[in-house]
Structure 1
Amino acid sequence: MKIGIDASRANELKKTGTEWYAYQLIQEFKKIADPNDQFILYTKEPLREDLSVLPPNFRNRVLRWPPQYLWTQIRLSWEMIFRKPDLLFVPAHTIPLIHPKKTVTTLHDVGFERFHELYSKARIGYRPSLTKVLINALIKLLTLGKYGNNEYDYHRFSARFALKHAKKIITVSNFTKKEILDIYGKRGSGKIKVIPNAYNKAEIKQKFTASRTSETLKKYKIESPFLLYIGRLEEKKNITGLIEAFKILITKYNFKGQLVLLGKQGFNFEKTLRVIERYGLDKYVIRPGWVNEEERIILLKSAVVFVFPSFYEGFGIPPLEAMASGVPVVAANSASIPEVTGNAALLVDPHDFKAMAEGINRIMDDPKLRDDFIAAGYRRAEKYSWKSTAEQTLQELKNV
């Protein structure tokens, strides 16, 4: 069987959730795939680093495309016309307009349908701006005015197109499956399969010397104790709410530490920056931006509490990583988060800043409660592995 995989997102240099999902699956597929099956990894550029180390039955097909846009819909579609695999798997992106009958994709969440105001309506793409205008006009023409060239419409189109044309849809939580059925109808329920995400156990188990940890903290001007958030810094992640809770921690509970926001800036983060400035918290809220994986794990293991206040998640990997690292978690009781964390995190209303601050303070102030959550976190994290996720996924692909 010839299985094609869109590896363009897995090959990104600075990965976030869905890119790591694609990367980890491909790495696990290399270990467990039937040697008689052929795997083709489609990318815009040659595979990077350890992703480029391929078994004999894997090969990389670099689909160069002079413009920097519409790679999936034009270049990958072109490939599907002339070199179609038996099955195409798209783990972290939209499926191309032209695709094999056996096409499988992963739909990670549908938050854009529930919270459309938290997604950018600005045109996406590359300079010059005239190009964006032309692409926007072309998309509107082809979709009879239903969609434009922006993040919100991109997600809406991708989900609807996948649900209509994909042979099977994988999603990462029971919550997300329920959301898909509630929003789009139950006609396609038979082709939706839930396979949960996981985290990189080997990476989390790394041990670092005190000097290496100190060096990393010093590099980013971080001092203990500090709270940590990992994820994109955008409105739907409720970063502004976290700042409000942090302010209460300082004023009501006399917290003397820092808040570290680890991730790339996203939609409407300017609103959060204004709140930070208004409260005079600039020197207490540390924003390292994107850091490499070693530094990310060092910061995670060094945090006093990990906070995950998101309004909406299809899954949410960072809380699992925190649990596996022995760091207690305070998280929102919204969307898929309770399903992922179980009873191993202190869950709070993401809209209630006082409750969030109180929860964080309880974890820091009560040693027994802290130890109980740490122990429960270790047990919970053990239930997830990329090996299991990959085995289930590959079985679904083979059975299409």
Structure 2
Amino acid sequence: MNISVDAGALCVKKNQTFGNAVFTSNLILALARYDKNTVYHLYAFCRLPDVIKKLRVKSHTLLPKKFWMDFRVTLEEWLRPKDVFLAVNQAMPAFIRSKVISFSHGLSFYHFPHLYKQDYTRLRAQLHRMVSKSQHIVVSSQKVKEEMLNIFPDRNNIHVIPFGIPLDMEKPTKQGEKKKIFLFVGMDHPVKHVQFILDVFLEFSKNKAYSGYSLLLVGPFSRISNNSKRILCVPNASRRQLKQLYRTCLAYVTASFYESFNLPVLEALSQGCQPIGLSSAIIPELSPYVYVAYDKNTFVENMRRVAEGERKNIEYGKLNKEFSWKSYVEKLQQLYLV
């Protein structure tokens, strides 16, 4: 079987390797590791990372970048159609003869259109096209499936397959002494609600007992960290550096208005970093492992509890079984044949 994969999400700048880029790279690595009988063709508009090019996959650099999916990928699929097209980032060719399996990464733009003023129209059109043209739609949580069914109640081709723990963080490193640091990792996008994180940290640190704590933002947040000695920023962190930060920081904090999964929470858990999250940022599948807050007061209180030594009792064997890339690939393979 020949299957094409949209790997365009890997063509991003170093400080933008969050979300879709992490998912795409892990999916490709997992397909190469766990599915030896399928030939995967990766489509991108850049030179793919060496770690990807060394895999048992076929890489295709398709140019030009302009109108890439609607023209160049469409042309490739028309001339050399595959058995299945994996629309990893929701977009798909304008015309395609192959079976299409699309991956929906949530509906934040649908619920918060005012936060996506420049992209809302495009994303909405992409959603409707995906639903009408896909043989199967894969989502990462039951929450997203229910939301999709509220919009498209007649669909019976939406499948929940939770992400696996990123493959470079499958094995937790040896735990050392935690530093007095609260960590956030992500994009500087309004939906991430970073101002809330700043507000609760400042409220938490008003207590003299916690004056030695810091907030570390990983991502393009230099403009924020310049205003405070206790709010730090790492604009670009490698995956190895990020793993080290999860291992050494006291807790991971998140307050997004919406998340379809929230992969950094799973990354943090895998490395023994206790997550604290606003309820809107935590899907039900992850909530047993997280100190969930419902407003600023309960968020600050959870920060205090973790600072005083409280932690969720996490069974790493159960976590690895529940969020497994091997299981992800096995469930995806079943859809190839349906």
Q: With structure 2 as the length reference, what TM-score do the two structures score?
A: 0.90
State the percentage of identical aligned residues.
22
Structure 2 match to 1:81: 78
1:247 and 2:208 matched: no
Q: 1:95 to 1:327 in 2, by over 3 A?
A: same
Give the gaps of 5 or more residues in structure 2. none
Aligned match of 2:33 in 27, 31, 47? Answer: 31
Does structure 2 retain, via aligned residues, the 8 Å contact 1:346–1:359? Answer: yes
How many Å separate the matches in 2 of 1:296 and 1:353?
Answer: 27
Report the Cα offset of residue 47 of structure 1: 2.5
**Change in CA separation of 1:24 and 1:261 when aligned onto 2, cut-off 3 Å:** same
| 1:90 counterpart = 2:87 | yes
Residue 225 of structure 1 contacts residue 304 of structure 1 at CA under 8 Å; is this kept in 2?
yes
Find the residue that maps to 1:259 and give its secondary structure. strand
1:158 partner SS:
helix
Please give the alpha-carbon distance, in whole angstroms, between the structure 2 residues aligned to 1:28 and 1:84. Answer: 23
| CA offset digits 1:202-238 (Å, max 9, x no partner) | 435364899xx9xxxxxxxxx9411101121222111
Contact in 2 for aligned 1:108/1:171 (Cα 8 Å): yes
Compute the displacement of 1:100 (Å).
2.4
Unaligned runs of 5+ in 1: 122-149, 214-222
| CA deviation profile, 1:314-339 (whole Å, cap 9, x unmatched) | 0111111211211222112126x241
2:170 and 2:254 map into 1 onto residues whose CA distance is 18
Q: 2 CA distance for matches of 1:63 and 1:6?
A: 11
Which of 322, 334, 338 is the matching residue for 1:395? 334
Deviations 1:3-28, CA, capped at 9 Å, x for gaps: 11112214546321112111111111
| Residue 185 (1) aligns with residue 183 (2) | no
- RMSD over aligned CA atoms reads 2.5
Cα distance in 2 for residues equivalent to 1:18 and 1:76:
19
Within-5 A mapping of 1:241-280: 241-252=196-207, 254-255=209-210, 256-264=212-220, 273=224
Task: Verify: 1:70 aligned to 2:8, yes or no.
Answer: no
Equivalent residue, structure 2, for 1:175:
143
CA contact 1:326–1:377 (8 Å) conserved in 2: no
Sort the Cα spacing of 1:379 and 1:341 in 2 relative to 1 into closer, same or farther, 3 A. Answer: farther
Which structure has the larger Rg? 1
> Following the alignment from structure 2 to structure 1, what is the Cα–Cα distance between the partners of residues 35 and 207?
55
Kept in 1: contact 2:260–2:283 (CA 8 A): no
Residue identity in the other structure for 1:348 = A
- Aligned match of 1:363 in 306, 312, 329? 306
**Cα distance in 1 for residues equivalent to 2:165 and 2:259:** 16
Q: Secondary structure at the match of 1:81?
A: helix
Regions of 4+ moved over 4 Å: 206-210
1:283 corresponds to which letter in structure 2? K
> CA distance change for structure 1 residues 385 and 378 in 2, over 3 Å: closer, same or farther?
same
What is the aligned length?
334
Decide whether the 8 Å contact of 2:182 with 2:251 is kept in 1. Answer: yes
What displacement does 1:380 show?
A: 5.4
